[in-house]
Structures are given as C-alpha cells and as structure tokens.
C-alpha cells in the first residue's frame, strides 16, 4: 500500500506529476469535482492545526468526497490509551485514506504499517511534514518559475521546524540549489539533516545568525516561527521567540523578485506591513496547499485502486 510518510517516498518525477496535476486542477477545477465521489478521507489530528487539516478537508470536498475525523487527541480513544496501530486498523474499516498529524516522530509510519489504506503524514513532531513540502515546491515552481538554480534562505527555528527539514530534503534532489541557514545558535539545523542531507548531496550551504547580511543574495526567503510547543522550558522560548522579525526596512536590500514564504502560522516573524508587498507569497502558498493535496489524494487513491 503506497503512503506518503517522507518526501523521499516520491521520486522527483512523481513530484513533477503532482505539480502538473495541481496546476491542471487550478486551471480546470470542474474536471475534478466528482473524482472522489463516495470516498472518505479520515483526518486524525493529535496536534493543533488550521491549514493542514482544513486544506485536506477542503481538498477532499472539492473532489466530491467526504471527510470524517478528529482534531484533538483528547476526543479520540488515544485518550483511553489506544495505540496508533489499533487506531489505524480501526479507521481502515471506515475510510479510504488517512491524513495523520501526531506529536510523536514516526507515528504516521506506524499507522501506515498497520493500516490497509494509504496514510499521509500531516506532520510528525519536529521531524517531517511532506505535504507542506509539496505545497512549498508548487509555490516555488509557480512563483519563481523553476525548481532549480536558486538561493533559498531558511530563517528562524531550524532545529524544531519540521517544514524546514522536509523542504531541505526535497531540494537536495534538484540542481543548482544554494542554501543559507539563518538562525540563532540554539536553533540551528539538526546535525542529522546537515550531514545526511546537505553534506551527503554536496549542497552548498552557509550558516549565519544575520538575516540582513544575506538578504540581497536570496531568491526565496522561507521564514518560520519559533516552535514553542517543542521547547523544554518557557524561558528559552521567551528569549528566542523574537530573534527575527521581517520588516519593510529589512527588505530594502532584497531582490525585486524575492519570493517570501512561510508555512504559517505566523506569530511575530513577519510584520503585517509586508502582507501587501507583491513578494509576500505566504497566503498564495496557503491556497496552493489545497490544490497539491487534491493531486496527492487522487494519486494515492488511484494507486490503491479505490478510484
């Protein structure tokens, strides 16, 4: 059974096909409006979410399908001590496909090993978030016009930010990518991503704590929030939370065609004064997330022989 747990589960060719499908859905939505008629998506969210869960649900509805699920662990049997494996086996009896978010790294993989329907990892702890990465790749391809030959700066919480880990992993398979890692010392990219992804694939990268000093080099700026829920103490969070705040002044040295992304939610990292700047792509990015998830649901359901 094909699932999506890690972005490397799909080849670059398959990712290109998903992007092509998403672009086709954007251009001709009516063609797709009953492709998933009478099919059900289960959203099993053990952690808070706005965009990921609602975009999955909107995606399934726009494909003519239905959705069921829960949005907090407390309202599911996991509060009674049920294992992820048993939850996955149970939900396989009710739905055609699962999207799961969980605070424990690896939980969606355990679900996939026990489910008899496709499982999509909608974020596992500080580990991975492959559907945000598909969203990000669609965004870059539409906004920058290509998925190769650009410089991308990741700024903020690179330690706990799972969207950063997944996107860097995905980009390691494209040519001509330069990575600039901008973070305070305490929130640097984990060494397993640095060694296993950047070093292993010989991706050129630099680490800095100064956003201003690299702004002029960037084609894409990927801002992130400091991940409060993954900190061990509140004091460290309070000290680090406002490390970077993007303001119009800081953009003065930026390229005219810079693409500013953020997986959202934004807390303080981007001044709202930037929202009206044409380079601010983050709300367009939200919109692309629904279309790429439509393409993903179609792919996995059709490979499972369910549509």
Which residue, 36, 72, 79, is CA-closest to 57?
36
User: Does 123 participate in binding ligand NCD (rule CB under 6 A)?
Assistant: yes
Applying CB under 6 A, the span of 64-72, 80-88, 258-266, 290-298 interacting with ligand NCD comes to 258-266
Q: CA–CA separation, 303 vs 264, rounded Å?
A: 31
User: Does 53 participate in binding ligand NCD (rule CB under 6 A)?
Assistant: no
User: Does 129 participate in binding ligand NCD (rule CB under 6 A)?
Assistant: yes
- Classify residue 248 by its DSSP letter: T
User: Does 156 participate in binding ligand NCD (rule CB under 6 A)?
Assistant: no
User: Does 264 participate in binding ligand NCD (rule CB under 6 A)?
Assistant: yes
Indicate if 80 belongs to the active site. Answer: yes
For residue 277, the minimal CB distance to ligand NCD (Å) is 21
List the one residue from 127, 159, 165, 225 that touches ligand NCD (CB under 6 A).
225
For residue 80, the minimal CB distance to ligand NCD (Å) is 26
The answer to whether residues 108 and 6 touch, using CB atoms and an 8 Å cutoff, is no
Indicate if 173 belongs to the active site. Answer: no
For residue 263, the minimal CB distance to ligand NCD (Å) is 4
Applying CB under 6 A, the span of 175-183, 204-212, 260-268, 290-298 interacting with ligand NCD comes to 260-268
Indicate if 35 belongs to the active site. Answer: no
- Classify residue 305 by its DSSP letter: T
Q: Is the peptide bond before 265 cis (omega within 30 degrees of 0)?
A: yes
User: Does 126 participate in binding ligand NCD (rule CB under 6 A)?
Assistant: no
Indicate if 129 belongs to the active site. Answer: yes
Assign 44 to helix, strand or coil.
Answer: strand
Angle of CA points 46, 160, 2, to nearest 5°: 55
Q: Which is nearer to ligand NCD, 134 or 251 (CB)?
A: 134
Applying CB under 6 A, the span of 31-39, 79-87, 181-189, 262-270 interacting with ligand NCD comes to 262-270
For residue 289, the minimal CB distance to ligand NCD (Å) is 8
Among 101, 127, 194, 299, the one annotated catalytic: 101
Q: CA–CA separation, 55 vs 67, rounded Å?
A: 11
Cα distance between the two ends of the chain:
14
The token pair that represents 181 in the structure block: 């890692």
Write down how long the chain is: 307
User: Does 263 participate in binding ligand NCD (rule CB under 6 A)?
Assistant: yes
Applying CB under 6 A, the span of 38-46, 69-77, 89-97, 259-267 interacting with ligand NCD comes to 259-267
User: Does 162 participate in binding ligand NCD (rule CB under 6 A)?
Assistant: yes
The answer to whether residues 7 and 166 touch, using CB atoms and an 8 Å cutoff, is yes
CA 90, 95, 96, 98 torsion-angle sign? negative
38, burial (CB in 10 Å: exposed 0-12, middle 13-18, buried 19+): exposed
Q: Which is nearer to ligand NCD, 176 or 265 (CB)?
A: 265
Indicate if 102 belongs to the active site. Answer: no
110 bridge partner residues: none
The token pair that represents 280 in the structure block: 């601010």
Binding stretches for ligand NCD (CB under 6 A): 51-52, 123, 129, 132, 162-163, 225, 263-265
Q: Any idea which residues carry the catalytic annotation?
A: 51-52, 80, 101, 129
């Amino acid at each position: 059974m094909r699932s999506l747990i890690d972005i490397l589960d799909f080849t670059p060719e398959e990712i290109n096909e998903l992007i092509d499908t998403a672009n086709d859905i954007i251009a001709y939505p009516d063609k797709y409006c009953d492709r998933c008629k009478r099919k059900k998506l289960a959203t099993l969210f053990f952690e808070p979410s706005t965009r990921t869960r609602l975009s999955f649900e909107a995606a399934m509805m726009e494909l003519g399908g239905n959705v069921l699920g829960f949005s907090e662990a407390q309202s599911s049997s996991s509060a009674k001590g049920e294992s992820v494996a048993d939850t996955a086996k149970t939900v396989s009896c009710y739905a055609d496909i699962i999207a799961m978010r969980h605070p424990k790294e690896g939980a969606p993989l355990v679900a996939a090993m026990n489910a008899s329907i496709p499982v999509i990892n909608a974020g596992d702890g500080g580990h991975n978030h492959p559907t945000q990465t598909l969203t990000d790749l669609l965004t870059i391809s539409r906004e920058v016009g290509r998925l190769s030959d650009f410089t991308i700066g990741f700024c903020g919480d690179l330690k706990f930010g799972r969207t950063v880990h997944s996107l860097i992993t995905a980009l390691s398979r494209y040519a001509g990518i330069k990575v600039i890692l901008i973070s305070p010392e305490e929130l640097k990219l984990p060494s397993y991503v640095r060694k296993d992804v950047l070093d292993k694939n010989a991706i050129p990268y630099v680490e800095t704590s100064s956003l201003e000093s690299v702004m002029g080099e960037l084609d894409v700026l990927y801002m992130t929030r400091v991940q409060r829920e993954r900190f061990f103490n509140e004091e460290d969070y309070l000290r680090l939370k406002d490390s970077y705040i993007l303001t119009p002044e800081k953009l003065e040295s930026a390229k005219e065609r810079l693409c500013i992304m953020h997986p959202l939610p934004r807390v303080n990292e981007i001044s709202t004064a930037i929202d009206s700047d044409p380079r601010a792509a983050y709300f367009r990015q939200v919109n692309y997330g629904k279309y790429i998830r439509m393409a993903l649901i179609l792919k996995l359901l059709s490979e499972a022989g369910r549509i």
